[in-house]
């Protein structure tokens, strides 16, 4: 076919229509408008998915820790390790194992306590008597003297089988938890100068083997706003400590019994525990009334204020009676931590129903 005939055929069929410049500009404008409207919602959905996935992982890990404690001789549980650079942020969780309680090398092991030179600040000095002269001296030496790392500062010691637990300072001193409101005004020192008192030393939890959970990038447990009942963790957690791990211990039937924190302090778990899961960069931030609580309009990287101000963050609750874990999103638009826990409190039967 000649070129002339081919051109005539194409003209008869008609040339394919093209786009005008105005049409292209309209399409570009529509795509830009869709990006402005849709992308923040997609970002918000991704963030919410990350937080809920982290909550599911933490819930499953807590259940694993609880199951390890059931039937065990000593409490076991969960260890939350804050970041060294920011003690209000935690992304690593471990199994927590409690070493056996130490009561001496023999059934006759006792301790003799000398009077304190200053009963207001302590400490008292102890002399361990591991037997009553019926065994050779070398055989009666304490592991406390033989192994310097067997016990550590912050372990709890009790005398006589009852009464308060004091702070043990290896190898031979005992003091009160002065930084936890224990003092001679509200707690009686153990008897001094007597023939000998039985003793028990509760050593601090250690990381267990075979169990670790690391939260996904950008997500963290916000320890500054986690609560024991209505009491924020920051009220009883110390800072700038060599060991700032927080351990939740379960007894042999799986009930939460104790929080060990701030280098050995022990807080009884008598109320539910609330863990806040949110953006790592916001962990520890105070409430900001100017911060947006509309998560669809504020992507995570542009947020300010506290994690509990945003409705896509998650509260996780550990029941203090059963150890059962439930979680729910933060109640949006609130101005207090307790109000932000409304959804999860209702799910476990705490708090009042909405009007």
112-166, pLDDT tens digit by residue? 888 776 666 677 777 676 544 444 454 445 666 556 678 888 899 999 888 899 9
Q: What is the dihedral of CA 128, 241, 166, 253, to 10 degrees?
A: -100
Say what the pTM is: 0.78
Instruction: Tell me which H or E stretch contains 347.
Output: helix 342-347
* pLDDT score for 124: 76
Q: Could you tell me the CA-to-CA distances from 83 to 93, 232, 274 in Å, in that order?
A: 11, 18, 19
Whether residue 310 has pLDDT greater than 60: yes
Residue 154's Cβ-count burial label (10 Å; 0-12, 13-18, 19+) is: buried
Secondary structure (3-state) at 233: helix
pLDDT score at 50: 92
What local confidence, expressed as pLDDT, does residue 47 receive?
78
Q: Which two tokens stand for residue 304?
A: 């300010």
Q: Determine contact, residues 95/225, Cβ cutoff 8 Å.
A: no
Average pLDDT over residues 262-283: 92
CA gap 223, 283 in Å, rounded: 7
Distance, in Å, from the CA atom of 278 to the CA atom of 291, rounded to the nearest integer, reads: 15
Residue 315's pLDDT is what?
A: 97
| pLDDT confidence band for 224 (50 / 70 / 90) | very high
Looking at residue 206, its pLDDT comes to 92
C-alpha pair distances (Å), 269 with each of 24, 227, 260, 322: 65, 11, 10, 12
In the chain, the percentage of residues whose pLDDT exceeds 90 is 40
Beta strands in 252-305 (DSSP E): 256-261, 265-268, 273-279
Return d(Cα 83, Cα 278) in angstroms, integer: 15
Q: What's the confidence (pLDDT) of residue 353?
A: 45
Q: What is the pLDDT of residue 85?
A: 84
Which stretches of 19-92 are DSSP H helices? 21-69
pLDDT value of position 135: 45
* Whether the Cβ atoms of residue 118 and residue 130 lie closer than 8 Å to each other: no
CA-closest candidate to residue 52, choices 324, 337, 347, 315: 315
């Amino acid at each position: 076919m000649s070129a002339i005939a081919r051109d005539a055929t194409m003209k008869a069929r008609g040339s394919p229509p093209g786009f005008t410049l105005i049409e292209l500009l309209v399409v570009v404008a529509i795509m830009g408008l869709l990006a402005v409207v849709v992308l923040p919602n997609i970002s918000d959905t991704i963030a919410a998915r990350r937080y809920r996935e982290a909550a599911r992982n933490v819930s499953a890990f807590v259940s694993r820790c609880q199951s390890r404690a059931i039937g065990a001789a000593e409490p076991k549980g969960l260890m939350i390790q804050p970041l060294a650079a920011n003690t209000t942020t935690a992304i690593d969780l471990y199994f927590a194992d409690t070493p056996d309680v130490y009561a001496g090398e023999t059934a006759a092991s006792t301790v003799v306590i000398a009077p304190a030179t200053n009963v207001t600040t302590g400490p008292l000095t102890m002399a361990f008597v591991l037997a009553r002269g019926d065994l050779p001296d070398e055989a009666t030496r304490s592991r406390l003297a033989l192994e310097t790392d067997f016990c550590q500062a912050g372990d709890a010691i009790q005398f006589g089988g009852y009464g308060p637990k004091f702070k043990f300072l290896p190898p031979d001193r005992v003091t009160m938890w002065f930084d936890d409101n224990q003092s001679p005004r509200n707690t009686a020192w153990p008897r001094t100068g007597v023939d000998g008192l039985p003793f028990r030393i509760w050593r601090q939890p250690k990381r267990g083997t075979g169990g670790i959970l690391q939260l996904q990038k950008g997500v963290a447990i916000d320890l500054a706003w986690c609560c024991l009942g209505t009491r924020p963790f920051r009220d009883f957690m110390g800072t700038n400590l060599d060991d700032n791990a927080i351990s939740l211990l379960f007894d042999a039937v799986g009930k939460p019994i104790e929080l060990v924190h701030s280098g050995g302090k022990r807080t009884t778990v008598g109320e539910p525990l609330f863990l806040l899961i949110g953006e790592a960069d916001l962990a520890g931030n105070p409430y900001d009334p100017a911060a947006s609580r509309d998560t669809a309009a504020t992507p995570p990287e542009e947020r300010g204020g506290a994690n509990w101000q945003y409705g896509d963050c998650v509260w996780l609750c550990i029941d203090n009676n059963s150890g059962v874990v439930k979680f729910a999103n933060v109640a949006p638009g609130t101005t207090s931590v307790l109000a932000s826990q409304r959804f999860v409190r209702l799910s476990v039967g705490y708090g009042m129903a909405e009007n």
